[in-house]
Structure 1
Amino acid sequence: MTIIAGFSASRQGSAPINLAVQIARTTGEKVIAAAVLERSWPPRNDPVEEEYLRHVKAQTAQSLQAVVNGLPGRPDVPTLVHESGSIPTGLLELAQEFEARAVVLGSSSSGLLGRVALGSVTERLVHTAQVPVAIAPRGYAFSHEPIRRLTAAYGGEADTNGLIRAAAELSKDWNAQLRIVAYTVRPAWAFGGPSLEAGAEDMVVAQWSKRTADDVTKQLNRVREDLAVPD
Structure 2
Amino acid sequence: MTSSAPAGRAAPTAWTAVRLVAAGVVAAAIVAQGFSTIGSAAASGHHVPTAAANFFSYFTILSNAATVVVLAWAGLARLPRERRTSLDPRGLTTAFACVTTYMLITGVVYNVLLRAISIGPDTVRWANEVMHVAAPLLLLLDLVAGPGHRMLRWRAAFAALLFPLAWIVYTLVRAPFITAPASGTPYWYPYPFLDPYGPAGWGGVWTYIAAIAAGILAVAFGVVAVLRLRARRIRI
- Bigger radius of gyration: 1
Structure with higher strand content:
1
* Structures share fold, TM-score greater than 0.5: no
Structure with higher helix content:
2
Q: Name the TM-score, length of structure 1 as normaliser.
A: 0.29
